[in-house]
Each structure stands twice: as C-alpha cells, then as structure tokens.
Amino acid sequence: MIDEILQYNQAFVENKGYEKYITSKYPNKKVAIVTCMDTRLTELLPAALGLKNGDAKIIKNAGGIISHPFGSAMRSLLIGIYELDVKEILVIGHTDCGAMYTDSKKMIEKMKAQGITEQSIDMIKYYGINFDAWLSGFMDLDVSVNKTVDMIKKHPLVPEEIKVYGLIIDSVTGELTKIA
C-alpha cells in the first residue's frame, strides 16, 4: 500500500494536483469538529456539511469522543480556540459507529492473541490506567455525544463565548440531526 501511495503522490505533486487545495492554517468558518475516524465519513462529512479545504479544523478519533479533559483531543480544541481563532465547536457522532459496543475484555483477548503479554497488561493497570474504561465503547450514541459536549462546555479552559453543539450524522445519507 505504501508504495502505491508514494507513486501516486509523486504524480500528484508533479501535476500540481494541490493547487485547488491551497488555503491558510486558519479555519475559514471558525469551526472545529470532533468526529469519528470512520472511513465512511472521510469525504461524506465535509460534503454533507458544505465544507471545503480550509473551512474547519477536524479532530478525529474512534467514536468522536473526548475521553479525557486533558488528553490530545481536548488539547487540539484548545489550540484551535487560542491559536487558530475557532469560535464554534461541533461534536458529530454517527449512526452505526464501530466504536459502539466495543468490549474491552474481548480487545484484551485479541491483544494477547497477537503476542501482547499478560505482564504488559498488568504493568499498564499497575500505573493506574483504567483499561476497561479507556477501551470500552459506548452503548448509546446520544449519551456519548452529550457527554463530550458537556465536557467541552464545562472545561475550565474553554471560554464562555465558544458555542458548542452536538449532532448525529447518518453514515449513509449524511443527514444531520442536532441533539444538543
């Protein structure tokens, strides 16, 4: 796969394929989006929201959640707000999310099947990481989106003027439903 990508890339640059994407580092619409890494959303989400290159800061992870108030997703939002002029934040969950129903116990079994030792897992637990909570999915999409919206709204470093909304996007049609 990497060879294919590098070969394509060479032609892309030579043919100036980048020209139509040129923009600045500041989001034109002053928006940051927290959403899922799901591959169905790669092009669908910006297309369905009418977003072009340069319009929004898009922060993606499994489930589109902020799992820790001082983790990397929250850090990205704070950089968006204080360095890149973000004024609005959209948390967008999606239907049929693969991060729902994730079972941490099953994932640990898969890790062991791929050679991760019991000692490694014990060591992580020893350092106070709540493995189950960290790896577990969410049972209810609305609850998950609301939880992340709340975490941002109540975050001690997020200024009051920042507007935060929660939405769900249909993974097939791209239809948005505002829930918070």
Q: Which residues contact Zn ion (rule: CB under 5 A)?
A: 36, 38, 97, 99
Q: Which long-range contacts (CB under 8 A, 24 or more apart) does 70-73 make?
A: 73/34
- The nearer residue to Zn ion, 81 or 90, going by C-beta atoms, is 90
Q: How far is the CB of 70 from Zn ion (least distance, A)?
A: 23
What is residue 90's three-state secondary structure?
strand
**CB of 32 within 8 A of CB of 75?**
no
Distances (CA, A) of 180 to 5, 13, 52, 56, 142: 39, 42, 24, 20, 9
Token representation of residue 97: 């999310």
Provide CB contacts within 8 A for 104, sequence distance 6+: 131, 132, 133, 134, 135, 136
- The nearer residue to Zn ion, 40 or 57, going by C-beta atoms, is 40
- The nearer residue to Zn ion, 99 or 164, going by C-beta atoms, is 99
- The nearer residue to Zn ion, 33 or 36, going by C-beta atoms, is 36
- The nearer residue to Zn ion, 38 or 91, going by C-beta atoms, is 38
Q: How far is the CB of 22 from Zn ion (least distance, A)?
A: 30
Q: How far is the CB of 145 from Zn ion (least distance, A)?
A: 11
Pairing of strands 163-169, 88-94: parallel
Q: How far is the CB of 63 from Zn ion (least distance, A)?
A: 6
Q: How far is the CB of 34 from Zn ion (least distance, A)?
A: 12
Nearest residue to 137 via CA among 85, 83, 64: 64
